[in-house]
Amino acid sequence: MTAGGIVLASGVGTVRLKIPDKDEDLILTDVLYMPSFPVNLFSGVILYCSEGRICGKTSTLRDKQDEVICRVDISTAGLFLKAGAFYNRLVM
């Protein structure tokens, strides 16, 4: 649900993100494809339920082994994934 009304997913799939300074890509599964949605969403609940966390001190997303998944830019404007030459906005 957005301010403009309900937005429905038109597909579900897997996304591979190339993360700078990492040997392996970040693979996201069960991603909803919603081309009319204005931002890319990230589920902090799924990260938390997977025993991961967001570390504010190091500005990183971390998995259950406390390994860095990727760096993030945390500001008053939101939470942004640092991937490649652009930022994907992460909304929780």
For residues 34 and 7, the answer to whether their CB atoms sit within 8 Å is: yes
Give per-residue burial for 43-72: e unless 16+ CB within 10 Å, then b. Answer: eeeebeeeebbbeeeebbbbeeeeeebbbb
User: What is the structure's pLDDT at 56?
Assistant: 86
Residue type, 27: I
Please write the tens of the pLDDT for every residue from 21-30.
Answer: 677 777 888 8
Please write the tens of the pLDDT for every residue from 34-76.
Answer: 887 777 777 778 888 889 898 889 888 888 999 888 788 877 8
Cα 91 to chain centroid distance, Å, stands at 8
Say if pTM beats, i.e. exceeds, 0.85: no
User: Phi then psi for 44, rounded to 5 degrees?
Assistant: -65, -30
